[in-house]
Amino acid sequence: MEKKFIAVYITARNVKEAEKIAGVLLEQRLIACANIMPIRSAYWWKGKIEKHGEALLIAKTRKSLYKRILTAVKKNHSYSAPCVNALPITAANPDYLRWVEKETRN
């Protein structure tokens, strides 16, 4: 059962933007749940190392919904190349996965 589900790791400019994106994904029933937390990031951008605060959004969903999630995030994100990575769920509480399945689109 776990192979049908993913956690989508999304970074955003700040908590406000992450909350906006989570709201869009929840309203469209593309995700069942989102966790949002402030983080510090360091990365290469346009030839130099950048360091600043961002927000991390982890969304639980069905693997089959990833492409729609990517489209929705890109439409509502301020970055030109947002991080929207699907992480496989290899083991999970079956009761939780049934809930994720129930709360997301077919």
Q: Which long-range contacts (CB under 8 A, 24 or more apart) does 93-97 make?
A: 94/1, 97/1, 97/2, 97/4, 97/5
- CATH 1.10.3720.10: does it fit domain 2-103? no
Q: What count of residues does the chain have? A: 106
pTM: 0.94
Tell me: the pLDDT tens digits for 38-54?
999 999 999 999 999 99
Amino acid at 14: N
**Residue 25: which of 4, 53, 6 has the closest Cα?**
6
Tell me: the pLDDT tens digits for 70-105?
999 999 999 999 999 999 999 999 999 999 999 999
Rounded Cα–Cα distance for residues 70 and 84 (Å): 7
